[in-house]
Amino acid sequence: MTPDVIVDEPVSLSMNPYTGPWTKSEAAHLLRRCMFGPTFPQIEGAVTNGMNATVASLLTIPVVNPPLAFDPDEAVAPIGTTWVTSPYNSGPNTQPTEDARYKSLAAWTMQTMNSTNLDISAKMNLFWQNHFAVEGVFDSRATYNYLNLLRTHALGNFKQLIKDVTIDPAMLLFLNGASNNVFSPNENFSRELLELYTLGKGVQIGPGDYSTYTEADVAAGAKILTGYIVDGLRSDTLPSPVSIFLSSYHDNSTKQLSNHFGNISVPGSGATEYSNYIDIIFQQPTCATYICKKIYRYFVNYDLTPNVLNNIIPIMAQTLTVNNFEIFPVMDQLLKSEHFYDIAVRGAIIKSPMETVFSWFNSSTSSPNVSVPIDYQTYLNLYWYTGALGQTYASPPNVGGWPAYYQAPAFYKLWLNSTFLKARFDFATWLTQYNGIDVGGNFFKVKALNVVNGLSIPNDAVSVIDDLADMYCPKSLGVADKLILKAILTNGLPDFEWTIQYNDYAADPNNIVFSDPVRIRVELVLSRIYKMAEFQTI
């Protein structure tokens, strides 16, 4: 059953700093929105540390090690070393090497999300790759560099990120910027720069006029953006594809923009002309409003009510503008605001497949740890499985990203059609009650004992269920649901039997005679929770 996420209008429409109660409820809400599955100790730690310190920790972007070679078809980089600056093999057939690197990169993306670090980086990375949807580059070094660009700039300057993305080799290849030249202008990137990346397509108010830009602006923008090509694609000498400006390919004429840009003329200025043009785009107030709406929908709620549009978005946009389009101050303000902690927006977002799967693994500190080939193959399998749930990482279905993030009126409910919901439930059963992902006899599944061991009073059945509800369910579970979960945990026996069972295990945790019964009962409880409507939301 699709959970009902329609809620009343938030009571608090204030972006003033939140000063209300700081309990597990508020702390868990913050961590769920900023991470893919917090642990129970992390929630308790957030309560102890307070909102300001927790937000400060979350708003960090740690350095992540690059992907490693694991497939025998990787012809250049040895197994266990990175290939991101390795040329391709010489000869006519580089496809096996590219296939190996693609698989390594796919596995690596899953590994970067399978983290218990207290930071927002994984959530921000997914936000930006949905905003700048790129795929089909055919050189995994370029794709890695592109994903790394989004990661390192995730909380940085939005204007600079737009500039960097514009001439990034992956984007130049994806939206035909590399073939956009004075002899044959290509409008693909020029259109998306205005429609999807900076201003948004407004109401059509005239022929070819979309309130924020016109078709003539698209054509002028295409000429402004001419001249950049990509060199080194699958090169057997260069360490990575690079973008190069060729002045002979650039349209150096003066371009005229519409009244939406003050009827400004853009003189030919060679390699820096694209940057000058982006500065002009960012002078439109619509630019700050547009990206703040997307941030709000991703981190708070899809429902942009008139009150939200009048009281929340303008303040976020003002913060973005006065800080020269730095994203960090906007996120800092939002995550500390009264509005963010309003009870009405808690549980208002249906989890994406990524949020679902990694809330299983990260909350239980479950990760494969066998060897590079086995770990990467495990993550590669996980990459395909999440795709079957409706979200293949770094591969949105179209240039606009995943429809659940923009398609009205369903939005997040698109994650839970009958096919995806069944697959989600089947996967939850497989990763809890059964062996999980099998790679050569090495099984990867949810580590239920890690979950129960981290709870406040793991030998008390009532406390176990209360803690799991606090950990996984943004909306309170009813008494009946908790009683059912407790009956599963205790196998219908009196509560003291669970206390005895867990104490025996705690006294001798390596003895499967004691650990297996505890593990099995907790796995059954988790399997049930992972299929509850309350679990499907954050």
pLDDT in tens, 265-284: 999 999 999 999 999 999 99
Q: How much is the average pLDDT of 455-462? A: 98
Residues 397, 403 contacting (CB under 8 angstroms): yes
Which sign, positive or negative, has the C-alpha torsion 67, 70, 72, 73? negative
Averaged pLDDT score across all residues of the chain: 96
Residue 463, CA atoms < 13 Å, CB-side half-sphere? 14
First vs last Cα of the chain: how many Å apart? 16
pLDDT at res. 11:
65
Q: How far lies 61's CA from each of 9, 19, 53, 150, 490, in Å? A: 33, 27, 16, 11, 42
CA–CA–CA angle 47, 49, 51 (5° rounding): 75
pLDDT at res. 9:
59
The answer on pLDDT for 6 being more than 80 is no
pLDDT at res. 7:
46
pLDDT bucket at 136, cuts 50 / 70 / 90? confident
Cα dihedral 29/35/41/47 (nearest 10)? -40
pLDDT at res. 10:
61
pLDDT at res. 88:
97
The answer on pLDDT for 474 being more than 60 is yes
- pTM comes to 0.95
Phi, psi of 338 (to 5 degrees): -60, -40
pLDDT at res. 8:
54
Question: Whole-angstrom Cα distance, residue 68 to residue 82?
Answer: 4
Q: How much is the average pLDDT of 107-133? A: 96
pLDDT at res. 84:
98
pLDDT at res. 476:
86
The answer on pLDDT for 12 being more than 90 is no
- The string of pLDDT tens digits covering residues 410-446 is 999 999 999 999 999 999 999 999 999 999 999 999 9
Q: How much is the average pLDDT of 157-184? A: 98
pLDDT bucket at 168, cuts 50 / 70 / 90? very high
Q: Where are the beta strands (DSSP E) in 354-433?
A: none
pLDDT at res. 281:
98
The pair of three-digit structure tokens given for residue 197, joined into one six-digit string: 């990346």
Total count of residues recorded for the chain: 538
User: What single string gives the DSSP state of each residue in 171-220?
Assistant: HHHHTTGGG-BTTB---HHHHHIIIIIIS------BTTB-SS-BHHHHHH
- The string of pLDDT tens digits covering residues 222-243 is 999 999 999 999 999 999 999 9
pLDDT at res. 13:
84
pLDDT at res. 2:
46
The answer on pLDDT for 145 being more than 90 is yes
pLDDT at res. 1:
43
Question: Whole-angstrom Cα distance, residue 175 to residue 161?
Answer: 17
Question: What are the helix and strand counts (H, E) for the chain?
Answer: 23, 6
Question: Whole-angstrom Cα distance, residue 95 to residue 81?
Answer: 20
